[in-house]
């Protein structure tokens, strides 16, 4: 028996590859159970974020298990396996556990020290436990990983500055617009990262508008943010009337198109429009 971690991330794969193998959180139980049923795979957990897709598994044979997991990912997403291979990495045994420690501690993140990854990892592990696809090996590995992450937070200065993808986005917005007070922000979708960006922009004095496919959910998010809910049909016209667009949806295709931006440019007469795309896919 051996622990392996097979995956790809922002360092090894461009966004269009990461998009093709992303696992939607709402339907993660089905692939978890399917992978758990693959011969030679005893335990499994899937972590899928905007910057990485990783599968931690306990396998009977390291080489055969890795090949089985790799074939499962390709087959599940209908991707030719040879297209994925150049972007994949494999950690096994002690290296796999060490990698989990690094991920949990945000040492392997796009923005080193960002706090979101630990919560995402805990959520992914909770999903795997709910699907009954983890056992004693992964339970022990992740318990140690979470303990290590806590020590890194409490015993080092890694997270002291609270730097994250949302804070970087807000810093860029300040570079473009200087003062954010009085500027308008359009939040498209209800993803966690986008909500964090919109929250920070709102605290800086920007006016936040929210659009989503479901008006009930849009109103719920807007209420939490102290923002204004708007109907989905208003979305195309709103792009030209705001200064910042933050997009994070689970739609499989493009939400903001070239035609939308051409129309927005006509409306804005040369004024800056800052777009933050946090959606994968």
Catalytic residue numbers read: 50
Structure tokens at 7: 């995956």
Residue 208's nearest CA partner among 185, 238, 182, 235 is 185
- Residue 85 burial by Cβ neighbours in a 10 Å radius (0-12, 13-18, 19+): exposed
Q: What is the Cα–Cα distance from 65 to 49, expressed in whole angstroms? A: 23
Residue 8's nearest CA partner among 76, 74, 87 is 87
In order of 16, 24, 280, the CA distances from 251 in angstroms are 14, 10, 9
**Residue 13 CB contacts under 8 Å (≥ 6 apart), including other chains:** 87
Q: Which residues of 136-167 are buried (b: 16+ CB within 10 A; e: fewer)?
A: ebbeebbeebbebbeebbeeeebbeeebbbbb
């Amino acid at each position: 028996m051996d622990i392996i971690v097979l995956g790809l991330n922002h360092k090894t794969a461009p966004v269009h590859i990461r998009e093709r193998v992303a696992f939607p959180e709402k339907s993660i139980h089905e692939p978890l159970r399917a992978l758990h049923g693959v011969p030679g795979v005893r335990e499994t957990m899937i972590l899928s974020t905007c910057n990485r897709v990783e599968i931690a598994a306990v396998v009977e044979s390291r080489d055969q298990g890795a090949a089985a997991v790799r074939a499962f990912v390709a087959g599940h997403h209908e991707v030719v396996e040879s297209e994925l291979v150049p972007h994949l990495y494999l950690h096994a045994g002690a290296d796999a556990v060490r990698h989990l420690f690094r991920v949990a501690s945000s040492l392997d993140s796009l923005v080193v020290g960002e706090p979101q990854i630990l919560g995402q990892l805990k959520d992914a592990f909770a999903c795997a436990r709910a699907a009954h696809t983890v056992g004693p090996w992964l339970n022990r590995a992740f318990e140690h990983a979470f303990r290590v992450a806590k020590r890194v937070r409490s015993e080092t200065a890694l997270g002291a500055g609270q730097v994250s993808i949302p804070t970087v986005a807000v810093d860029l917005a300040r570079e473009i617009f200087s003062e954010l007070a009085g500027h308008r922000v359009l939040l498209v979708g209800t993803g966690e990262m986008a909500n964090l960006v919109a929250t920070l922009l709102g605290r800086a004095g920007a006016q936040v508008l929210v659009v989503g496919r479901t008006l009930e959910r849009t109103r719920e998010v807007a209420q939490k943010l102290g923002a204004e809910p708007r109907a989905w049909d208003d979305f195309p016209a709103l792009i030209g009337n705001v200064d910042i667009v933050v997009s994070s949806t689970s739609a499989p295709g493009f939400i903001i198109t070239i035609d939308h931006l051409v129309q927005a440019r006509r409306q804005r007469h040369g004024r800056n429009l800052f777009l933050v795309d946090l959606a994968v896919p």
